Each structure stands twice: as C-alpha cells, then as structure tokens.
Structure 1
Amino acid sequence: MANILIADDDPVFLEIISLALMIRGHEITTAVNGVGAIELAKQGKFDLIILDIHMPEKDGLETILALKDMNCTAPIVAVSAAEASGYGNYLGAAKTFGATATIRKPVNHCKLHDIIMELTGSVTEPRATAH
C-alpha cells in the first residue's frame, strides 16, 4: 500500500482516481492545485505524487520544480489531457522538469496502478466495497 498525493483541479478526476486507488488499498490525499500539493508535501511523507499539468495558481510544471527544490524524493507521475488534443508536449516537458513517469488522460486505472507498483514497490490488497 502506498501513501499517494494527487493534485488536480478537476473534482471528478480526483474522485474517480482516488476511489480507484483506495479500492486497491492505497492511502490517498488530494489537493486542487499545485500550491496545495506543495503545502501537503511539506507536511507529510508521500510514497508517490500524481500531478495534473494544467492547474490554477501553480501548474504541474511549476509544482514539479518546487517539489524538486524542496528535495522531495517521492516519484512524480504527471498527467495531462492536453497531449491528446495536440496542444504541445507537456508530458515531455514534465519529464524534463523531473517527473518520474507520465500518463495521458483519460487515465487507464490499471496502467496507473502498474506505474504506482513499479515506482513504489508497494503490494496492495483490494478492499471490499459495499453494494
């Protein structure tokens, strides 16, 4: 089980990804922008950070740089939908800025979980869900 910070300004994305990862046994903390992610990273120890590239106040690229300046050692997974719409190579830039891995939105939950397992070495136990 990994302790994961997810920063994204889309509340639907946050909820869906959080639930998908919690079901797999991960502990999830969320932020709605890069400023919140940086503050939470200062307060807690995360095994992995998932960052959207396009967020208000401090975008994902600025957040990656700030986390690296703080000597944050948690692997960073950058996510973006802009790549699919042809608006530039933001995920490539994220790797240049220090992201460990990237994934395009819409995010395939299984692929994201595989990335998390690879980067954290976590073993998860699926949690039972109420019907």
Structure 2
Amino acid sequence: MINILIVDDEELFRIMLKEMVEREGHQARTAANGNEALKAVQKQRPDLIITDILMPEKDGIELIAELSRNGSQIPIIAISGGRRSISLEFNLESAALMGVRATLPKPFTREALRRALADALAH
C-alpha cells in the first residue's frame, strides 16, 4: 500500500483528495502547508507527495526546493488552481522545471488523478 502525503491549504479540498486517494487503495495523511509537510516527512517518510503550489507560510515551490536541497527522492505531484495574478499554467510549469513527476490543474477528475499517480509512481 502506497503512503501519500497530501499538502493543501484548503481544508475541504484536502479532505476530498484524501478520500479519493484512499478509494484508490492508498494510505493518506494531510498537511495544510509546506512547514507542516516537512514535519510530516521527518516523522514518517511518504512514498509520494501531492502538493498544492500556492499556500501560506511555505508554498509548494518552497517545499519542493527544500526537499530537493535535502536530497529527497520522494516523487511529487504538483497541483494548482492558480490565482488572479498568477496562472495555474505558470505554477505547474515552475514545478515541472523543479523535477516533479506529474502536474494536475485544479479542478481535476478522478481519472486524471489515477493517471498522475501512475505516472509519478512508475519512475
């Protein structure tokens, strides 16, 4: 069973995504921002991280960068819905340039999540 850490500042989205991941047969834990995610990774290393890009305190790009600096090989799926001033395409392209395994624009379907999970775990 794959252990997945879900990082998103929107509580309802976090809960929904956790349920989707668990319906796919995986275990899931959640964190509300990059700082919480780093603590969760130190406590128990996940097999995969799904992280939003735009979050308060420590955003997804900062989380990805810090994990990379620490030599982490944990596969990452980046998700983003964008904001008025920053497009989701820019966020996801930035994450892709940092080496994430897959990207998903919000909102996404369960099938798109399945494909992203398969892509991220296949490498």
TM-score (norm 2): 0.89
How many residues are treated as equivalent by the alignment?
120
Structure 2 match to 1:3: 3
* Helix, strand or coil at the partner of 1:58: coil
Which one has a bigger Cα radius of gyration?
1
Q: Identify, as 1 or 2, the structure richer in helix.
A: 2
Write the distance in 1 (CA, Å) between the matches of 2:68 and 2:43.
Answer: 15
Structure 1 match to 2:99: 98
Structure 1 stretches of 4+ with a deviation exceeding 6 A read none
Note if 1:30 corresponds to 2:30: yes
Note if 1:109 corresponds to 2:118: no
* Helix, strand or coil at the partner of 1:114: helix
1:3-61 Cα deviation digits (max 9, x unpaired):
10000000111011100111121000100000011111122121110010011100110
- Unmatched segments (≥5 aa) in structure 2: none
- Unmatched segments (≥5 aa) in structure 1: 122-131
Asked if the contact 1:65/1:98 (under 8 Å) is kept, the reply is no
1:102 alignment partner AA: T
CA RMSD of aligned residues (A): 1.6
Write the distance in 1 (CA, Å) between the matches of 2:97 and 2:17.
Answer: 25
Write the distance in 2 (CA, Å) between the matches of 1:55 and 1:23.
Answer: 26
Write the distance in 1 (CA, Å) between the matches of 2:48 and 2:74.
Answer: 5
Alignment of 1:1-131 (within 5 A): 1-82=1-82, 87-88=86-87, 89-121=90-122
Deviation at 1:86? 7.2
TM-score (norm 1): 0.84
> What percent of counterpart residues are identical?
35
Asked if the contact 1:17/1:109 (under 8 Å) is kept, the reply is no
